[in-house]
Structure 1
């Protein structure tokens, strides 16, 4: 699994957890709780997800999709929640799916057996739609 595939899998699991808990922040969030919430068994894939969690959360926060209060370990965070931009991305309906199915709903339905292409498509769709919606709202 390459770095982009690991990022997409980790971001999809993170978005799923945060969308399901919104608006309540996840009090203590770390790589092990992400693997557990995503239903990832203790395998090489889980180890790669654990390695990517910290970097993925930080990148998504830098880009404005999530917010957290502080880190308590290299891959542990407190009070993690979707931002407005993240929620907009999760609530967007891509043109390619049925009119009532949002990106967040699709992520919630994904099983751990989801194909790499499906996960990548949903994460990229969420990031693109979130940026586009916020840009339009800001008059850009």
Structure 2
């Protein structure tokens, strides 16, 4: 079993990538509270460890070339964030067939042959990430995010 902070990292990364993909190519503000949930700063104005971990995930995604942003809005959001070309291509590209079989919802893999366009859509990395998020199963989310972030180029 993975450490809880790693499971949260995968979930935060998945939500951020899905949000950015859904808005692509528009630039949007990525708010930590929309990803990790509400946070009340303490009496000193400091955010919780959970909030800061999510903010760190967003910064890490930027540092590793998955997204770009103009500025931070304190420690609450990334201003004008957008997927990089590499991230967009990776999310849009088909995942390996074995991974699609493992992570897809059973209804997606009907016995009857699917039209090529639909087959391509349900085999994309972004579809696998969305499906994993809908399942709310941390192992599936982690597997889908690892496959997406660390896919060979």
Tell me the TM-score range normalised by the shorter chain: 0.7 to 0.9
Contact 2:132–2:144, Cα closer than 8 Å, also in 1: no
Aligned to 2:86: 85
Please report the RMSD computed on the Cα atoms of aligned residues, expressed in angstroms.
Answer: 2.3
Aligned to 2:138: 116
Aligned to 2:62: 61
State how many pairs are aligned. 122
CA distance in 2 between partners of 1:59 and 1:114 (Å): 23
CA distance in 2 between partners of 1:113 and 1:127 (Å): 19
Query: Could you say what secondary structure the match of 1:88 adopts?
Result: helix
Q: TM-score, normalised by structure 1?
A: 0.75
Match of 1:103 among 125, 129, 138: 125
CA distance in 2 between partners of 1:25 and 1:34 (Å): 17
Higher Cα radius of gyration: 2
Measured after TM superposition, the shift of residue 15 of structure 1 is 0.7
Measured after TM superposition, the shift of residue 109 of structure 1 is 3.5
Q: Deviations over 1:82-138 (max 9, x none)?
A: 001211221122212165220112223344542111100111011122xx22xxxxx
- Where does the alignment leave 5 or more consecutive residues of structure 2 unmatched? 40-47, 102-118
